[in-house]
Amino acid sequence: MMTLMRHDHETDESFYKILEIRHLTGNAFSIRLPKARFAFKAGQHISLGIVGGNQSREYSIYSGENEENLEVLIKEVQNGYFTPQLRRLKIGRMLEVHGPFGKFGMEPGKAEKGKFVFIASGTGIAPFRSIIRTYPNIDYRLIHGVKTLEEAYDSHEYEKSRYVLCTSREKTGDYHGRLTGYLKTCTFAPDTQFDLCGNSEMIFDALEILKGKGFSRDQIHCEVYF
Amino acid sequence: MILNEKKRVAFKTLGCRLNQYETDALVTDFSQAGYELVDYNESPDVVIVNTCTVTNQSDHKSRSVISQTARKAKNAVVVVTGCMANNFKEKLESQENITFVVENSRKSSILTLVDAHFSGEIAHPDQLPQDVFRYEPVKKSLHTRSAVKIQDGCDNFCTFCIIPMVRGNAVSRPVADVLESIRKTVENGFKEIVITGVNIGRYSDGATRFEDLLAQILEVPGDFRVRISSLEPDGFGPDFVKLFAHPKLMPHLHLCLQSGSDKTLLRMRRMYDVEQFRKTVTQFRAIYADFNFTTDIIVGFPGETEEEFGQTLEAIKEFNFSHIHTFKYSVRKGTRAERLENHLPEKVKTERSLQIRDLSVENKIDYFNSFIGKTQDVLVEKVAHGVASGYGEHYIPVRFKLAGAQKNAIHKVRLLERKGDDENSYLFGEAVL
């Protein structure tokens, strides 16, 4: 690995300077880093560490494959160890990035041929934004489950007819209740491919619903968040 | 470097098949360089401890072996390598009873480091080249079977697992290198080759996936058989099952289920569910009715309810694993599972572990009994007091009497009865001449 000397500490190709922090809600934010030569497939995740720290966490990439920046979407965990530190970081600080990792996302050549239903809870929307920005002509329907309207991160970017917001704590979304409640009411074409990203409970329940509707497990792809 | 004065080297290995392979490759290296292989009680000049860190218990065992070794081989150069060396590098480097701490990625160059040390050079492990596939094919070995490493590292990030942090990202050895290594290992006289790596199902070299590589390995000329080490249930395609019709490929897979509960599997961030696992087992047994499946199970994963544990017991009965490697869940620092809620008391984990052990023994006895009256081709690993012992094609331990039986020979054996304690059962038979 190429080694460079920058500032007062040794850095290498894994070190990225924070370019921008977008505060999306009271506790959710995105961090933009220079993409440079970092190559990834939409849907993959990276490992992020704070330079000088001893821990790292994995985050799905929030930006598209061909964009100038590499962006991740983060929700601060109350009383957590890592995300409060991330949130306090200023523009110009260095982050250590490893990856990309994972097989979640589009199989080569499939994105513009199939019908996709993306099912996300909370920040689990990140890989789907990356996929949609990478494949603008993709035939998708995005079902996003959150507690309140403010968690509909960057929802204005999606075509209204393709995006369904399910809000469980208030009646501000397209559907009032958990996304699994909405899912039960849906019908899908038999050849639909499903991609799920979010916490394990949501994924378990959604899997049961989809299997109950007759879809094969091979049509359903999951990325578990915590 | 050929040594003027013959130095003595001892090895201690903990953990997985991959570690065993890497030790065997180092044994070959040191042997070819003129070192004499001795036990660590026999005043070695160098002791190499290849450690494991997959559970708390592995850490404990590794620490204990390091202390014991350093105490017994007082004046020896003590080299600590393996996954624990990655996980606790700084701590181990500060220990006075350890001469060198060598990370996994530099393990293949330990001979260079030790030679340099004995030549009076100031050497540091961090100066060694990083190459996880630099190992020579095994010639001199501590085992009858030789492994060949095709892959290293893992990107799955299962929530309980420290391995991606200590073995690094998934990397695959080029096809040509693998095939060359197989050829040379066969030339070196090994009759059974174990295909190994951290997550071998994720093998990928250009368009060549795991089953494509395996198909090519089976076509390497020579009198040898092939066994697959531990495999994840989600990394192979539909042609994989067909390959087992090849006479060289042994009908046994250690397919890691980890839990029989879909909820637990999701919390573990495993990439399959029980139904998919069932599909695989069914496909195999539809073609090869007596196919041997063994597995790993983690008990007491955070949040595992009685119901979820019950589903694991049901799965064990259904899939009829002939052996289960049971791990009581233990926290690995820096993993996602460390941050999960509802960690279970040790007592619960122990109780559940015992239940699985009992089931495992029942399954083993049933499975072994089903082979009585059949024949197996047994690779002899040991001959003592006129009794040869080794493993048959299905990885069942077999013993038989045969005058003049030789280690590393394959004999056809008719299986007559099951003997030994429940957990240490084996089949006793007679050679078919």
Nearest one of A115, A167, A114, A107 to A141, comparing CA atoms: A115
Which residues are within 8 A (CB) of A76 and not within 5 positions of it... i.e. 6 or more apart?
A27, A28, A29, A83, A84, A86, A87
Q: Do B217 and B244 reside in the same domain of the chain?
A: yes
Does the pLDDT at position A90 exceed 70?
yes
CA distances to B11, B44, B72, B74 from B41, rounded to whole Å, are: 11, 8, 6, 10
Q: Do B416 and B343 reside in the same domain of the chain?
A: no
Which tens digits make up the pLDDT trace of B183-222? 999 999 999 999 999 999 999 999 999 999 999 999 999 9
pTM score > 0.95 for this model? no
CA distance A97 to A33: 10
Helix (H) or strand (E) segment spanning residue B17? helix B17-32
**Residue B427, phi then psi, degrees to nearest 5:** -105, 135
Number of CB pairs, chain A paired with chain B, less than 8 A apart: 36
Instruction: Tell me how close the Cα of A46 comes to any Cα of chain B, in angstroms.
Output: 10
Q: Do A10 and A88 reside in the same domain of the chain?
A: yes
Q: Do A77 and A166 reside in the same domain of the chain?
A: no
Residue A19, classified by CB atoms within 10 Å of its CB into exposed (0-12), middle (13-18) or buried (19+), is middle
Q: Do A153 and A93 reside in the same domain of the chain?
A: no
Mean of the per-residue pLDDT values of chain B = 93
Distance in angstroms between the alpha carbons of the first and the last residue of chain A: 31
Helix (H) or strand (E) segment spanning residue B397? strand B397-401
What is the average per-residue pLDDT within B272-294? 96
Q: Do A128 and A97 reside in the same domain of the chain?
A: no
Cis peptide before B125 (omega within 30 of 0): no
Distance in angstroms between the alpha carbons of the first and the last residue of chain B: 47
The predicted pLDDT at position B65 comes to 93
Residue B141, in any domain of the structure: no
Q: How confident is the model at residue A213 (pLDDT cuts 50, 70, 90)?
A: very high
The predicted pLDDT at position B242 comes to 96
Residue B138, in any domain of the structure: no
DSSP structure class, residue B214:
H
Is there a contact between A200 and B263 if contact means CB atoms under 8 Å apart? yes
Q: How confident is the model at residue B138 (pLDDT cuts 50, 70, 90)?
A: confident
Does the model's ipTM exceed the 0.90 cut? no
| Residues of chain A contacting residue B157, judged by C-beta atoms under 8 Å apart | 58, 101-102
CB A216 within 8 A of CB A147: no
Phi-psi region of A84 (alpha: psi -120 to 50; beta: other; left: phi over 0): alpha
Is there a contact between A226 and B276 if contact means CB atoms under 8 Å apart? no
- Number of domains, chain B: 3
CB B107 within 8 A of CB B136: no
Which tens digits make up the pLDDT trace of A128-149? 999 999 999 999 999 999 999 9
> Chain A residue closest to B277 (CA)?
A217
Q: The domain containing residue B406 runs over which residues?
A: 375-431
Assign residue B407 the CATH number of its domain: 2.40.50
Q: How confident is the model at residue A10 (pLDDT cuts 50, 70, 90)?
A: very low
Does the pLDDT at position A4 exceed 70?
no
Question: Which residue in this structure is represented by tokens 């060549």?
Answer: B208
Does the pLDDT at position B375 exceed 80?
yes
Q: Do A134 and A208 reside in the same domain of the chain?
A: yes
Residue A162, in any domain of the structure: yes
Q: The domain containing residue A192 runs over which residues?
A: 115-225
CA A208-A214-A218 angle, to 5 degrees, is 75
Is there a contact between A203 and B275 if contact means CB atoms under 8 Å apart? no
Assign residue B150 the CATH number of its domain: 3.80.30.20
The predicted pLDDT at position B4 comes to 57
Is there a contact between B339 and A204 if contact means CB atoms under 8 Å apart? no
Instruction: Tell me how close the Cα of B407 comes to any Cα of chain A, in angstroms.
Output: 44
Interface test with B, best of A40, A58, A77, A101 (most B CBs within 10 A): A101
Q: Do A95 and A123 reside in the same domain of the chain?
A: no
Q: Do B295 and B163 reside in the same domain of the chain?
A: yes
pLDDT > 70 in chain B, percent: 99
Is there a contact between B266 and A55 if contact means CB atoms under 8 Å apart? no
Which tens digits make up the pLDDT trace of B226-244? 999 899 998 777 899 999 9
Interface of A with B in 181-200 (CB under 8 A): 200
CA distance B62 to A74: 38
- The amino acid sitting at B325 is H
Instruction: Tell me how close the Cα of A126 comes to any Cα of chain B, in angstroms.
Output: 18
